[in-house]
Each structure stands twice: as structure tokens, then as C-alpha cells.
Structure 1
Amino acid sequence: MRSPSVQLYSVRDAVDENVDAAIARLAEIGFTQVEPYAFHQNVADLKRALTAAGVTAPSGHAPVIDAEAPEVVFDAAAALGIRTVIDPFIPTDRWQTADDVARVAARANELGALAAERGLEFGYHNHQWEFTNKVDGRTVYDLFVNQLDPAVVLEVDTFWATVGGEDTPALLRRLGDRVRAIHVKDGIVDDDIRDVLPSSESALIVPEALRRAFENQKPAGQGDVDVPAILRAAPRALRVVEFDAYAGDVFAGIAESYAWLATNDTEVSA
């Protein structure tokens, strides 16, 4: 098995309580890599916790597209050893038209160039609305990717792409090495939530149907997502385990995903 990562947002309550203990517990499961979120807000604490646990952070999430001073985020990434900075969320109301897509893509290209000046990469992480929203029959995600400079990379959330109606393995094969990382996430894929969207302020302010979809997420291999096919389609992408929410002990769920990858990702990664 290649060394997977885990999105710290999955254990956000534990991080808020004690970041050192949370990262140490993930290291005990077997993780040697994590993906921090909003890392520019707590650089010193994260650096201490990562060092103490012997864990690195090759990628991290931060809201860079709307940042007034993106240099601050990139400098924080460099201080933490994060090479790939991912913007996790542009709300659905800004993905409605071709002009909307062009604006987001232009900003992403600017940030890709700015990141490259610092030896970093910049990329974007999807939810389902980039696939459910269409312009002239094409998904806005497709329009977006086609306008990106090659320097801008992608992190595909494979659960939400699947919920959005995408053939995710086929998508990953088309995108190839532009996909630096994938979120390994499983759960119930229900057509009833395909077009159910969060608020424009936060991906976590959601209607009841979407809240249930969060809580029905499952360890890798236990839900409706074809995780084996996804792994085969992105053999070089960093695997990042993530739960938006979990009905049980999220550390136990993460450990089950880690164990599943140890058994099922070996041939894919060889």
C-alpha cells in the first residue's frame, strides 16, 4: 500500500479540543501523512503537532480563491511543508453560467502562477454541484477544467462526484495526472441528494436530506461508491481518507478505511 493521507476535517472536533492528541491518534492508526484544513490560522500549533507525531502534510485545504492576501496562505503552506494547496469550496450559486466558470477559472490560474513562484501547487476540490450544474449540456466542472492552466491541479472528491452523477473512474482516467489527490470516501449514493445543495455560505449548512447523507458515510468499501475502480483509475494520486460526518466513532471509521486500503490498494499502487 502506498502511504495514504487523512483529511483532518474528518476529526475537526478532536482537533479543536487538542490538535496534538488528534494527530497523534491518527499516527497510531498508521497514517504518516495528513491533510490540514484552514492551516494558515494555526501554523505554530500544527507544526508542533506534526513534528511530535512524525507526520507530514503534503497537501492542505484553505479558502484561497476568495482570499484578499493569498500570499499569507502560501507562506503558511511553505512553513508547514505543504506543497499542494487546495481550495475546498466555491458555492453552487457561483457555478451557474459560463461567465461564472470563466471567473473562477481565471482566479485559479492567477493563484496557480502565484503558488508556482513559491515552489508550490494550487488546486481545487469539488463537491457535487460542479457536476449537477450544467451549461449547454456540459457540466460546469468540465468547462472549468478546460479553462485551467496546466499548472493548476485537481483534488477529486470521489464520493461527491459520484453523487453528482459522474462516472468517477472515467473522469479520473480523462484527467490523468492533473489529479494530484483523491478523497477516498464511501457512503449511500442516493439520487434524492443529487440536486440537494448546501447554503451559499457553507458546505455544512445543509437541508435534512444532505445531513443524512453526511451521517450515512461509511468506511471505504462499505458503501455504494466503486472505490476499487476509482483507485485503479488514479494509480498515482494521493489517497486522502475523509468523512464529512460519521454516525459512529470517526477514528474507528478512519481506521477501517486505512485497513481496507492496506488490503485493497496494494496491486493498484504497485
Structure 2
Amino acid sequence: MQPISVQLYTVREPLAADRDGVLRRLAAIGYRAVEPFDPMSDPKGFRQVADDLGLIVPSTHAYALLERDPAEVFDAVATIGAQLVVIPAGFPPEEFTTPDGLARTADRLNGLAERAAEHGVRLGYHNHWWEVEPLVDGRHALEALAGLLAPEVFLEVDTYWAAVGGADVPALLRRLGDRVLALHVKDGPVARDEPHTAVGAGAMPVPAVLDAASGAWRVVELDSCAGDVFAALADSHAYLTGLEGR
């Protein structure tokens, strides 16, 4: 099974103060993979520290692709070593409420996926609640979008935000099938504005979610945390490790 990853947005504030120290703490917890949220921030230095700690970087978010020269972004992605490049939102929420809006979004993602392929990586999209909550032609907007995406464009499904958006997440994942290459695994009260908890300590049906996409990367993320975030990340890692082999 692939090692459990962690989205570094979870620790964005301590990371800004002491990147190397934070990566050491994550490695000490037992994480063997990380997912940056900005590959443009000192990619060479980041790669060196990750390598020294035995951390792999299978995926990265790259919001910069919507704002900067894609070639520059993909160069940074190559430096940190990621093979999966994720657009983490960046489109107006109203684009997910109509067929025309979904078509425009798909066209932009498909074009970026062509550029990604030129650099030997795959492009994906990461959802929040606003891509799931609207129904377009009787389906969650994310599902309707998936039907418009080129085959090489994958999804990194944020399982928590999909639940907040009203989806039966295991069923949604089964319908999306092989399109899903990564999951954001998070937990909490399944309420939009409440802090998240350690994975396994909230209301999410985590085992059923993981079973529905057993081959996907598992990326822990806590957008916010009421207690100590490193303790929550340690508890999350322990819980998910205990589920391995199911």
C-alpha cells in the first residue's frame, strides 16, 4: 500500500516559520509522503530536505497554474519530484451550477492537462463543497464535470467537503471509479464552518470511504484544528495505519 501522505496546508503557519523543522516532525510521526500546496516556494531546497528525511512527494497542489506561466510551474513540479499535479479550486463556484459553466471548466482543465503531459506529469482537480452541492442534470456537479474531462485528468476527491456538499461519499467514489487517484482524508462534524478533528475522531465513515477507493493515495488534511495540529496528525496517522490491511 502507498504510504500515507499529508497536505502541508494543514501546517501552513508553522511551515512558514520553520519549514525544515516541520518536515522533520512529520517524518518523526511516521509520514513518508507529503503534498505541498505551493511547489514554487524554494523547490530545490524543499526537495533536498524531503530527500534527506526519506519523504516522497507523489503529488502537489499547484494553484499557480491558473495565474503563472505553466512551464515555470511545471519546472518547479519536476524539481520537487511530483507526478500528480492538482488544481485545488480556483474557478468561480457558479461555474459548477450550469452545463455551460462545467464545459468552460473542463476546457480549461483539459488544456492544462495537455501542458502537463508535455512535462511528463498528470493534472487533476480537487473539490470543495461547491463542486458537489449543485446538481446538474441530476448528478453532483463534480460527477458531471468528470464526464467532460479528458481521460488523463484525474480527481483528488476531498472526502470531507464532498460530505458537506451532501454526497454519499462511498457511493460517489464508486461511481467515479478509476478517475479518483487521490483522496483528501479528513474528519470532523461534517459542518462547513466547524474545525476539523483527527481522522477517526469525527463523524466521517472513514473505513467505508477508504474501501470505496482502495487504490487511491490517502492524503491527510485538516483545514483547521481546535487543538494541537501535530497531535491530531499523529492520531490520524495512527488511526489510518491501524486500518491498513483491511
What interval of TM-score do these two structures reach, taking the shorter chain for normalisation? over 0.9
Partner of 1:7: 7
> Which stretch shifts more, 66-75 or 151-160?
66-75
Deviations 1:84-142 (A, max 9, x none): 00011134133232211111101111111111121101000000111112334432212
SS of the residue corresponding to residue 101 of structure 1 reads: helix
Within a 5 Å distance, the mapping from 1:30-109 to structure 2 comes to 30-64=30-64, 66-90=66-90, 91-109=92-110
Partner of 1:225: 204
SS of the residue corresponding to residue 34 of structure 1 reads: strand
Partner of 2:180: 179
SS of the residue corresponding to residue 182 of structure 2 reads: strand
Question: C-alpha separation between the residues in 1 aligned to 2:51 and 2:94?
Answer: 40
- Give 2:234's aligned amino acid: A
Partner of 1:111: 112
2:244 corresponds to 1:265:
yes
- Runs of 4+ that moved beyond 4 A: none
Taking structure 2 as the reference length, the TM-score comes to 0.95
Q: Is the 8 A contact 1:125 1:155 kept in 2?
A: yes
- Give 2:185's aligned amino acid: V
Within a 5 Å distance, the mapping from 1:203-218 to structure 2 comes to 210=193, 213=194, 215=195, 217-218=196-197
Work out the percentage of aligned pairs sharing the same amino acid. Answer: 45
Aligned-pair CA distance for 1:67: 2.8
Aligned-pair CA distance for 1:72: 1.4
Question: C-alpha separation between the residues in 2 aligned to 1:2 and 1:222?
Answer: 23
Taking structure 1 as the reference length, the TM-score comes to 0.87
Aligned-pair CA distance for 1:226: 0.5
Q: Is the 8 A contact 1:65 1:107 kept in 2?
A: no
Deviations 1:182-227 (A, max 9, x none): 011011024xx4xxxxxxxxxxxxxxxx2xx2x2x11111111110
Question: C-alpha separation between the residues in 2 aligned to 1:65 and 1:39?
Answer: 10
Equivalenced residue count is 245
Aligned-pair CA distance for 1:78: 0.9
- Give 2:126's aligned amino acid: H
Question: C-alpha separation between the residues in 1 aligned to 2:64 and 2:180?
Answer: 19
Q: Is the 8 A contact 1:65 1:108 kept in 2?
A: no
Aligned-pair CA distance for 1:51: 2.1
Within a 5 Å distance, the mapping from 1:147-186 to structure 2 comes to 147-186=148-187
- Give 1:175's aligned amino acid: L
Unaligned runs of 5+ in 1: 194-209
- Give 1:24's aligned amino acid: R
Question: C-alpha separation between the residues in 2 aligned to 1:51 and 1:136?
Answer: 46
Q: Is the 8 A contact 1:172 1:233 kept in 2?
A: yes
CA RMSD of aligned residues (A): 1.5
Question: C-alpha separation between the residues in 2 aligned to 1:2 and 1:41?
Answer: 26
Partner of 1:142: 143
Question: C-alpha separation between the residues in 2 aligned to 1:68 and 1:96?
Answer: 27
Unaligned runs of 5+ in 2: none
Aligned-pair CA distance for 1:29: 0.4
